[in-house]
Amino acid sequence: MSSIHQIRSGILLFAVVVAVSVCVFSHNPMYVKADDTVRTSENGVWSYIVLDETKIRITALDNTKTEKLFDGNIYTGIVTIPSTIDEYQVYEIGDVNGDSSTKGVFENLKGVKDKADGEGYPIKQLVIPYGVVTLGTNCFKNVDCEEIIIPSSVKTIGVSCFQDSKILRITLPDSLESIGELAFGRCNSLGEVNFGKGLKEIGSKAFMWCTSLTAVNIPDSVITLGEAVFADCTAVTSLTIGSGIKELPASSFYGCSSLESVVLPDSVVSIGSNVFKGCSKLSDITLSGSIQTIGNDAFLTNYIGVSSSENGNTIWHDEEIEDAVKLGITIPKELTDVSTLNLTVYKNVTFKVYEGNSTVINYFTNNSVTNYITYSGSSDNNSDKGENTGTKTEDGGTSKTEGGTSDDTTPEDKGQGTADNTKSTSSDKVEYNVGQTYSSGSYTYKLLSKNTASFTGITNKKLTRVNIPATVKFDKTSYK
């Protein structure tokens, strides 16, 4: 009997253990299978989806229970997102599929209410916990918060993640690899961005309309920029482009009206259309020695697109910026062929060409481009820019040629006067024909019409300064 009793007791004990185990395991979130079911956290604040046995994605926040967001004193204004919820690690926050219609987890959050008095208190700092890898679409869109701390575990910032937020500054960790489209778009208060060393891609319009941003320093790790990535950042005065960039896509820095100077790294081979259009204070840009293509209106710094409404339709057209400064485009010593770069269309510029770059000089000459000067020495340390001066025009460097006739040009130095070539005698009189090139003193000119000529070069290589006269005389005829 005792043995039977022992057997029964053992069976009963086993049953109890199994029952308890089933009960515990069934209520332990660590054993919930991954699926798309949206669950609510035990404290009722969060909604989430289980990704695997240990990780979750936060999908929503209950705005009626925001007082629970504060860790400690509500008056500090510091909100820390928990690193674990219901024993799961918080791995992702927000939609990761790029659906712009998805409401962000913290979207439109303006402050936190105290349950006791119902008063709202502003959020000064929002801390994302270590372990979070992805910040999804619209996650912190239109959040009224001065600063958001991003941990060194985050690799991806999604579409419109911080768009329209009130953040003043942001430091991006070295772990971050990609920034999505419009991620920081229209963050009008954002004055400082510190990029990490691991960043590879910045999406289209990622920082568009960040009107308080003053400096952009793209690290060498970045290899891809999206279109209009920093467009209309009207306060940016300083721009550094890393050596990993090969292409500047369309409208990259469009409308950056405070930008003053740019040096392109040798890695840049392509500049898209409208890249520096509307950069009305841009006075100097140095091309890379390996540039291969330049898109339409890339350097049209003295024009900007404006819109008007006609019959309910939005019409866009270019409008001239009256106070735009003249742009100086430095063509480096290494760039010897500009024939495919579409540069001759730009009139509000002065091209700066290395004096020994005969290929570029001849190309400009043959295409009646007169708004250029030459410089001596290395383009990398160009202390002698402008030492040798090409033709200047009365309207500040513009030279137009139609049907073989050049517009009247006047040197900036009115005292240069007229070059007279009257050395030939009646016995060796020379006939001067339109289309031919002739010498006068140390200079050579090509006759364009019966009264106009184009400066084509110098015959005295020892000259240290070139002063182009307003007119040149061959025989008894003066040519402008």
Question: Sorting pLDDT into bands at 50, 70 and 90, what band is 288?
Answer: very high
Question: Sorting pLDDT into bands at 50, 70 and 90, what band is 24?
Answer: very low
- Residue 190: name the closest of 236, 241, 122 by CA: 236
Residue 73 CA to residue 75 CA, distance in Å, equals 5
Q: Give the torsion through C-alpha atoms of 273, 277, 282, 288, to 10 deg.
A: 0
Percent of the chain with pLDDT over 70: 76
Question: Sorting pLDDT into bands at 50, 70 and 90, what band is 26?
Answer: very low
Residue 213 CA to residue 229 CA, distance in Å, equals 13
Lowest mean pLDDT among 94-108, 137-151, 442-456: 442-456
Quickly tell me which residue has 């060498």 as its tokens.
220
Question: Sorting pLDDT into bands at 50, 70 and 90, what band is 159?
Answer: very high
Between the alpha carbon of residue 105 and those of residues 46, 167, 202, the distances in Å are 9, 17, 23
Average pLDDT over residues 102-121: 76
User: Bigger pLDDT: 109 or 276?
Assistant: 276
Average pLDDT over residues 286-297: 95
pLDDT given at position 354: 92
Question: Sorting pLDDT into bands at 50, 70 and 90, what band is 445?
Answer: confident
Antiparallel, parallel or unpaired: β 477-479 and 261-263: unpaired
User: Bigger pLDDT: 174 or 474?
Assistant: 174
pLDDT given at position 1: 52
Structure tokens at 228: 């209009």
Q: Is the pLDDT of residue 167 over 60?
A: yes
Average pLDDT over residues 284-300: 95
Is 255 in contact with 232 (CB distance < 8 Å)? yes
Task: Tell me if residue 376 falls in helix, strand or coil.
Answer: strand
User: Average pLDDT over the chain, rounded to whole?
Assistant: 81
Between the alpha carbon of residue 148 and those of residues 129, 197, 229, the distances in Å are 11, 19, 21
Residue 372 CA to residue 390 CA, distance in Å, equals 5
Question: Sorting pLDDT into bands at 50, 70 and 90, what band is 463?
Answer: low
pLDDT given at position 404: 33
For 251, residues 6+ apart whose C-beta sits below 8 A from its C-beta are 227, 228, 231, 272, 273, 274, 275, 277
Residue 287 CA to residue 335 CA, distance in Å, equals 8
Question: Sorting pLDDT into bands at 50, 70 and 90, what band is 98?
Answer: confident
What pairs with residue 308 in β-bridges?
A: 315
Is 418 in contact with 327 (CB distance < 8 Å)? no
Q: Is the pLDDT of residue 475 over 90?
A: no
Q: Is the pLDDT of residue 393 over 50?
A: no
* 114-142 core/surface letters (b: 16 or more CB in 10 A; e: else): eeeeeeebebeebebbeebbbbbbbbbbb
Q: Report the amino acid identity of residue 438.
A: Y
Question: Sorting pLDDT into bands at 50, 70 and 90, what band is 448?
Answer: low
For 221-249, what is each residue's pLDDT tens digit?
Answer: 999 999 999 999 999 999 999 999 999 99
Average pLDDT over residues 414-441: 56
Q: Is the pLDDT of residue 280 over 60?
A: yes
Q: Is the pLDDT of residue 392 over 50?
A: no
Antiparallel, parallel or unpaired: β 88-93 and 84-85: antiparallel
Instruction: Give this prediction's pTM.
Output: 0.73
Is 71 in contact with 81 (CB distance < 8 Å)? no
Question: Sorting pLDDT into bands at 50, 70 and 90, what band is 195?
Answer: very high
Question: Sorting pLDDT into bands at 50, 70 and 90, what band is 64?
Answer: confident
Q: Is the pLDDT of residue 13 over 50?
A: yes
For 327-343, what is each residue's pLDDT tens digit?
Answer: 999 999 999 999 999 99
Is 85 in contact with 56 (CB distance < 8 Å)? yes
How many other CB atoms are there within 10 angstroms of residue 422's CB atom?
Answer: 10
Counted residue by residue, the chain has a size of 480
Q: Is the pLDDT of residue 307 over 90?
A: no
Q: Is the pLDDT of residue 15 over 70?
A: no
Q: Is the pLDDT of residue 71 over 80?
A: no
Phi then psi dihedrals of residue 193, to 5 deg:
-130, 125
